[in-house]
Amino acid sequence: MVKQLEGGFINKVYLENGIVIKVFGNDELVGIPSAERLKREKTALEIFGGMVAPRLLHSEGLILHQEYIEGETYEIKARRGEQVFEVAGKILARIHRHQINRDQTSQSYYEARFAKALAIAKPILDTEQLPVKFEVDWKLVRAFGACYIHGDFWLANIIGKEEAPKVIDWEFSGPGSPYEDFAIADLWILREFPGSETNFWKGYGRKPDPKTVNAFLVLRCIEFLATTTLDKYLLEEKDGFYHNKVATLHEINQR
């Protein structure tokens, strides 16, 4: 019996005979080809599978088979009032402790990403009269070092029982600056659950520079906006995904 699992905002995810089957697609939603995203997830599961990720079972074409993790997501638990934030911080720290063979934290790499996304998102930013800058203290970034990052670290991607939670959806993972994960955690964990910040950074073990987190959040919001068009943006509800990113950018500018 095949059952389609909830979530799967980008890809189709099914459960068959106790195995998760992930079918990659919808490249236009993320700007990264399915084959590349599958490669990233497969590599991450080979590294972290059985520790902080499901075990990789098989992959063929654009389909990846992996271990099924039973339990609720940490987002469900948090909305029920459970204190999951310190554990979430510890899990992210475990990911970031993985050594990488190449440094992907150079100023030119991130500035090139920002410039590319900014050019695409410009019609939306002009319509919203929203100026943005990617201002980073690169000494602080280099001081934090490079590591393996998840790329989409939020509570809905942490699942399982308390003694052995696992992180899913590794398709945006790879070498990079931990500030990328900090920015996503800030957007979808710390802002979503006021009061969670202290326990999250306690679990992680150290607190990053807030201004640098905001700078990388600007980058990620612009990259999200670069995956849509002005026409589609104008048709979206005011509380929709892309309007939320614009609201976040406005908030950062006002600080």
Mean pLDDT to the nearest integer, 87-104: 87
Mean pLDDT to the nearest integer, 46-52: 96
CA angle 186, 191, 197 (to 5 degrees): 70
The pLDDT value recorded for residue 8 is 63
Please report which confidence band the pLDDT of residue 66 belongs to, taking 50, 70 and 90 as the band edges.
very high
- Domains of the chain, start order: 1-68 (3.30.200.20), 72-254 (3.90.1200.10)
The pLDDT value recorded for residue 248 is 98
What is the average pLDDT value for the chain, to the nearest integer? 94
The pLDDT of residue 6 is above 90:
no
The pLDDT of residue 102 is above 80:
no
Beta carbons of 14 and 4 less than 8 angstroms apart: yes
The pLDDT of residue 61 is above 90:
yes
pLDDT digits (tens, 9 = 90+) for 230-250: 999 999 999 999 999 999 999
pLDDT digits (tens, 9 = 90+) for 168-227: 999 999 999 999 999 999 999 999 999 999 999 999 999 999 999 999 999 999 999 999
The pLDDT value recorded for residue 210 is 97
Mean pLDDT to the nearest integer, 114-136: 97
The pLDDT of residue 104 is above 90:
no
C-alpha–C-alpha distance, residues 118 and 114, integer Å: 6
The pLDDT value recorded for residue 5 is 75
What is the percent of the chain with per-residue pLDDT over 70, rounded to a whole number?
97
Please report which confidence band the pLDDT of residue 255 belongs to, taking 50, 70 and 90 as the band edges.
confident
HEC string of the chain equals CEEECCCCCCCEEEEECCEEEEECCCHHHCCCCHHHHHHHHHHHHHHHECCCECCEEEEECCEEEEECCCCCEHHHHHHCCCCCHHHHHHHHHHHHCCCCCCCCCCHHHHHHHHHHHHHHHHHHHHHCCCCCCCCCCHHHHHHHCCEEECCCCCHHHEECCCCCCEECCCCCCEEECHHHHHHHHHHHHHCCCCCCHHHHHHHHCCCCCHHHHHHHHHHHHHHHHCCCCHHHHHHCCCCCHHHHHHHHHHHHHHC
Residue 213 structure tokens:
């987190």
pLDDT digits (tens, 9 = 90+) for 123-133: 999 999 999 99
The pLDDT value recorded for residue 1 is 75
The pLDDT of residue 103 is above 80:
no
C-alpha–C-alpha distance, residues 59 and 42, integer Å: 8
pTM for the full model? 0.95
User: Phi-psi region for residue 169, left (φ > 0), alpha (ψ -120 to 50) or beta?
Assistant: left
